[in-house]
Amino acid sequence: MSEKILIVDDDIDTLRLVGLLLQKQGYEISAATSGEQGLSKALNEKPDIILLDVMMPDMDGYEVARRLRKNPTTKSTPVLMFTAKSQLDDKVTGFEAGADDYLTKPTHPAELQAHVRALLARVGARNVDEVETSQHEHHGRVIGVLSARGGLGVSTFASNLAGALFTRVQSDVVLAELTPGQGTLGMDLGTPRQNGLNELLSGTPAEITREKVSSMLVPHNSGLKLLLASENPRDIQLTSQTDHYEILVTRLAMLARFVVLDLGSGLPPFVQKILPLCTDRIVVVEGLPNTITHTKMLLDEIADLGIDRMSISVILNNRVRSETQMPWTEVQKNLGHSIAATLTPAPEMFMAATRVNMPAIFSQPTNITSQQILKIADQIIEREKAK
């Protein structure tokens, strides 16, 4: 396979000339006409080398190089910076920003080719070490929790499942609420008005580094680490940042043994992007006819994403004591999907837990509903061990 070279330059003529020259040498060429587009392509396409112009209007090459070096995906990608500037200070600035090599325009084709070959040779020399490192890089188990519609207790279940996992393994567990504008966990857990998720979704995808995501996690008294959604309804527009979500979930998986995602209700584009990244998918349902109909549709749509139905666990959440709730056997029959677990109604327990800003699994661990959630956590841990 030929090496891929990403050329970032706002000058279309330069892009064409340099691209054609290197393409004739057998390289695969990708082009970007702005710094932000270059960062996005570098992250998504993972080129073997980046040719980066300094003088660009939206974001200069120095800033692009700094951001490339801050991102774990591109921190080792060779950067050849080229510009019309030839002053020593400009070159020093380029190297300090993270450039590996520097050429001034106009550059002779033979010189450019020689520098590109030299940088690619360095890539080959470091590949063995990078492969060995990546083999040992931590990737936690990601559990996505959702429902067909709102009001079924997704957030409450997700927070208590995260607490149950932490209780069992006593190692890092992240609880991430990924629905900006619809946040409830911050208020329930005593940490309202958090802007971490907003900040991650508002920047560029290249800025979502493991270090930045880690800095946005809020430690909770329970031992969980929280990434919380804002309560401001206008922030729901951030759910359109589907590429950001994909990168965010990948980064979260590097930061904990288990990551529990509160995905809210329905199947918006960002959830469609996230579900294939999850190792466990949990759909919450209640025993009412309309909810079962909606949930059956949701399961069909998830399957249409190429996700095996057998990898989806359905939890019957009986939130209130009512004669109108169907028994689990009838729910399972009407749904056409097995019920993995049934939760006993415990509204008083969950209300009391909210008053002390803790998941109920910590405040009332011996309650029958808490024990049922602990069993679900045990099943997830068993699957982790089996894998």
Lowest-confidence segment of 3-17, 85-99, 243-257, 272-286 by average pLDDT: 85-99
Coil, strand or helix: which one is 198? helix
Q: Which CATH number fits domain 141-386: 3.65.10.10, 3.40.50.300, 3.40.50.1000, 3.90.1300.10?
A: 3.40.50.300
* pLDDT of the residue at 137: 52
Coil, strand or helix: which one is 238? helix
Mean pLDDT of 188-203: 91
For residues 346 and 360, is the Cβ–Cβ distance under 8 A? yes
Instruction: Give the pLDDT band (50/70/90) at residue 71.
Output: confident
In this model, does residue 377 exceed pLDDT 80? Answer: yes
Alpha helices in the chain (DSSP H): 12-24, 35-45, 61-70, 88-97, 109-135, 154-169, 185-188, 196-202, 210-216, 242-253, 269-274, 289-304, 328-335, 347-355, 360-363, 368-386
Mean pLDDT of 109-138: 65
Residue 345 CA: distances (Å) to CA of 40, 89, 267, 320, 351: 47, 69, 26, 5, 12
In this model, does residue 53 exceed pLDDT 60? Answer: yes
The two domains 4-135 and 141-386 share their CATH topology (first three levels equal): yes
* pLDDT of the residue at 175: 98
Q: What is the pTM of this model?
A: 0.68
Instruction: Give the pLDDT band (50/70/90) at residue 128.
Output: very low
What's the pLDDT tens digit per position in 358-369? 999 999 999 999
The pLDDT > 70 percentage for the chain reads: 93
Q: Which fold has domain 4-135?
A: Rossmann fold (3.40.50)
Mean pLDDT of 26-39: 92
* pLDDT of the residue at 195: 87
Instruction: Give the pLDDT band (50/70/90) at residue 336.
Output: very high
The domain segmentation of the chain, as residue ranges, is 4-135, 141-386
Mean pLDDT estimate for the chain: 89
Mean pLDDT of 258-283: 96
> CA-CA distance, 314 to 380, in Å (whole number)?
13
* pLDDT of the residue at 133: 40
